[in-house]
Amino acid sequence: MEYVQMAEGLKFSRVVLGFWRLLDWGLDTDQLIKFLEECLDIGITTMDHADIYGDYQAEEMFGDAIRKRPDLRDKMQIVTKCGLRYKGEFPDVWPGENARVKYYDYSTKYIKAQVERSIKKLGVDHIDTLLLHRPSPFADMEEIAQAFDELLAEGKVRTFGVSNHLPDQFSLLESYVNVPLVTNQVELSCLRMENLENGVVNQCMEKRIHPMLWSPLAGGRIFIGEGEEEVRLRATLEEIREEIGAEDIDEVAFAWLFSHPAGFIPITGSGEIGLAERPVKALKYRLTPEQWFMVWTAVKGHKVP
């Protein structure tokens, strides 16, 4: 496994385990513990959560495993997100049984309340990295900065970052907060290259931070998509697979990401160790510039200028 320096005293595994679909994995607590042990054994130490995953239940299910095996916590880095609200989960803090609309809340009070709940649900005493889940056009940056300062001072969060932020949104927040932003978690894959083209990746490279990537296999489209770009991509991935000796095209898709100089950190969302191993195996491959642009050209349908 490779590890990436995110901040002083904090490294992430180059492959991160994501828990968006934890409730769909069908694991009981003991089975989840076994799976976490297997992931740790192959070097996946960074765990990616969000307060809303599994309708606000995934963190607690993960926490049941940590409470039963607290020794596992010291082997992990815990990432979680906050800011999205789509129902009145917490009447003790926010009145009303149901939110009338999905919305973002980045008030100091809400951010801190969510961190407290995540800590409790996850069965930990602090979060290693807290991310703002989505940019909000209604966010008060001073409120966010205050929340970050207080959470850091209280020892409840070690580092901070964002998710799904465009460069101007990242820069705006950065201009207010007193702590460095250590990552921007965005969607990126062979089939979704927008964040390579809109300045997001360039900004991360400029700031010497490593982007975390969700949906690195485009939700499985590289295997089952029937559009022209998917068909061209599969043929190209298969050609490169034969050249580099990979077992399957998903390893090539991960290798395409690992080969980029930005130091991408993809998130795998599988609850099966055999599938979680796939991106780890892909770490041994690096594509040549020609191979990298073969993938780019297959998806775009035209050569570079």
Asked if residues 217 and 233 have their Cβ atoms less than 8 Å apart, the reply is no
Q: How far apart are CA 229 and CA 250, in angstroms?
A: 16
Q: Which domain holds residue 86?
A: 3-187
Average pLDDT along the chain: 95
Torsion-angle region of residue 219: left (phi > 0), alpha (psi -120 to 50) or beta? left
Using the 8-state DSSP alphabet, how is residue 192 labeled? Answer: B
If you average pLDDT over residues 290-305, what whole number do you get? 96
Rounded distance between C-alpha atoms, residue 155 and residue 19, angstroms: 24
pTM given for the model: 0.95
Q: What tokens were used for 166?
A: 């465009």
Residue 101's pLDDT band, with cuts at 50, 70 and 90, is confident
- pLDDT, position 86: 79
State whether the Cα torsion 270-191-285-205 is positive or negative.
negative
* 93 falls within a domain: yes
Output 92 or 184, whichever has higher pLDDT. Answer: 184
Look at the chain and report how many structural domains it folds into. Answer: 1
Active site residue 53: yes
With cut-offs at 50, 70 and 90, classify the pLDDT of residue 92.
low
Angle, CA of 202, 206 and 210, to the nearest 5°: 75
Residue 226 lies in a domain: no
Residue with tokens 């775009």: 300
Q: What number of other Cβ atoms are within 10 A of residue 87's Cβ?
A: 14
Tell me if 229 is assigned to some domain: no
Is 199 a domain residue?
Answer: no
The answer to whether residue 302 is domain-embedded is: no
Q: Indicate whether 219 belongs to any domain.
A: no
pLDDT value of residue 93:
53
Task: For residue range 2-48, list pLDDT tens digits in order.
Answer: 999 999 999 999 999 999 999 999 999 999 999 999 999 999 999 99
- DSSP secondary-structure letter at 228? H
Whether pLDDT at 296 is above 80: yes
**Which of 292, 301, 279, 300 has the alpha carbon at shortest distance from 243?**
292
Residue 56 belongs to some domain of the structure: yes
pLDDT of residue 94: 53
Neighbours of 54 (CB within 10 A): 18
pLDDT of residue 102: 85
Which candidate in 53, 106, 110, 285 is catalytic?
Answer: 53
pLDDT confidence bin for 145, thresholds 50/70/90? very high
Domain assignment present for 239: no
**pLDDT band with cut points at 50, 70 and 90 for residue 251:** very high
Three-state DSSP state, 179: coil
Rounded (10°) angle between helices 273-282 and 29-41:
20
Q: What is the CATH number of the domain that holds 12?
A: 3.20.20.100
* Residue range 202-207: mean pLDDT, rounded: 98
Task: Please state at what angle helix 228-244 crosses helix 289-300, rounded to 10 degrees.
Answer: 160
Quick: pLDDT tens for 147-204.
999 999 999 999 999 999 999 999 999 999 999 999 999 999 999 999 999 999 999 9
